[in-house]
A and B are shown apart, each in its own frame.
Chain A
Amino acid sequence: MVDLSQYLPILIFLGIALALSCLFVFLPMGVSRLTGSHNPTAEKLSEYECGFPAFEDPRSQFDVNFYLIAILFIIFDLEAAFLFPWAVSLDLTGWPGWITMMIFLFELIVGFAYAWKKGALEWE
């Protein structure tokens, strides 16, 4: 069984984050409700000329370039995830482990150079 008490700081941070986000959401609502007059009508709640509808289908089509960026992000994210166990176990694996990781990084640098050369990272 795991000693859960070492996760107490994370729990405290989560609690603080939750409390702060609730505060940011509900405090302005409460303050404006208490200080101003509150009698909404359908016209008041509708968006003004330059606004966009507050409620609509969240699915909307957008540029496929976002998808490419997301895929590249996942790949480099995974690469970073492989770095964590490597970094803490380097004294156990020694030089072979170090060279292994350098080859792995080189493989991804090749991909990075390819992406750069193709202009996949450029936003037009």
Chain B
Amino acid sequence: MLQTIAFYLFATLVVASAVMVIMSRNPVHSVLWLILSFFNAAGLMVLVGAEFIAMLLVIVYVGAVAVLFLFVVMMLDIDFASMRAGFVRNAPLGIAIALVLLAELVLGIGAYRAGALILGTPDGTAAPLLFESNIESIGALLYSRYLFLFESAGIILLVAMIGAIVLTHRERPAAHRRAHQDIGKQVRRNPKEATFNASPEIGKGIDL
């Protein structure tokens, strides 16, 4: 009973906020609706028993990808009103893409109904877990059988990091660079060469 109520609550909110993503006029509001949608999708994942996926949705999608979307939206200087102007001209292309997506959905649901998948069944009950919890099963498979894929994921992350640095990092000219603290130079300082306090008598100078 509680599960059913929670499912309909989360599912309704996912669909409603996804509709608001494409309906809201302000792109920043769209991103905020997208974040709400991610949160509710995480709730749905908890309901089907995939706690790890739910956690990843909150940490990675809400925490990082949504922030990145906000950055993209704020950085691109696009006049969204003028982009909407070509609606009639681009309508055939949009309808064609929508039809392709619809065909994919129908195919996907058909394949799911045919029962070829053994991971889950249409009534929502999942296949029994290998180990005690979901996250443990994922770990047991990911770090033994799918080890190579995991390491290639690491390589892809490395490439992404280097690519981001190469694309967006720019060297400031040396004149604009802030003075740099050299700790080694400070430690190597000799007290004899440093400034010292002297109180010479009147009429006498000091040796430097």
B168 touches A84 (CB 8 A): no
Q: Which of A25-33, A34-42, A45-53, A94-102 contacts B (4 or more CB under 8 A)?
A: A94-102
Complexed CA–CA distance, A58 and B49 (Å): 38
Q: Decide yes or no whether B65 CB sits under 8 A from chain A.
A: yes
Known A-B contacts A59-B28, A85-B52; the reply to A103 vs B154 at CB < 8 A is yes
Given known pairs A115-B161, A119-B169, the reply for A74 and B154 (CB within 8 Å) is: no
CB contacts between A and B, total, < 8 Å = 158
- Which residues on the B side are within 8 Å of A54 (C-beta)? none
Name the contact of B169 in the complex, choosing from A61, A79, A120 (C-beta under 8 A).
A120
In the complex formed, the residue of B with least CB distance to A106 is: B154
Interface presence of A111 (CB below 8 A): yes
User: Total interface residues on A, using CB and 8 Å?
Assistant: 51
Alpha-carbon distance between A75 and B157 when the two chains are bound, in angstroms: 6
B interface size (C-beta, 8 A)? 58
Most chain A CB neighbours (cut-off 10 Å) among B55, B63, B168: B168
Please indicate the chain A residues that have their CB under 8 angstroms from the CB of B158 in the complex. 107-108, 110-111
Per-residue contact bits, chain B 108-144, to A (CB 8 Å; 1 contact, 0 not): 0000000000000000110000010101111110111
Contact assessment for A114 and B157 in the assembled complex, using a CB-CB cutoff below 8 Å: no
Contact digits for B185-203, partner A, Cβ 8 Å, 1 yes 0 no: 0000000000000000000
Q: Enumerate chain A interface residues (CB-CB to B < 8 A).
A: 1-2, 4, 7, 58-62, 64-68, 70-75, 77-82, 84-90, 92-93, 96-97, 100-101, 103-104, 107-108, 110-111, 114-115, 118-120, 124
**By DSSP majority rule, is chain B's interface helix, strand, loop, or mixed?**
helix
B169-A67 in contact (CB<8A): no
B133 to chain A: closest residue by CB: A88
Establish whether residues B3 and A84, one from each chain, have CB atoms under 8 Å apart when the complex forms. no
Task: A41 to B161: give the CA distance in the assembly, Å.
Answer: 52
Cα distance, A118 to B165, chains bound together (Å): 8
- 17 A-B residue pairs with Cβ-Cβ distance under 8 Å, sorted by A, are A1-B49, A2-B49, A59-B27, A71-B164, A74-B64, A78-B60, A78-B157, A84-B55, A86-B143, A89-B136, A93-B144, A97-B143, A97-B144, A100-B150, A103-B151, A104-B151, A111-B161
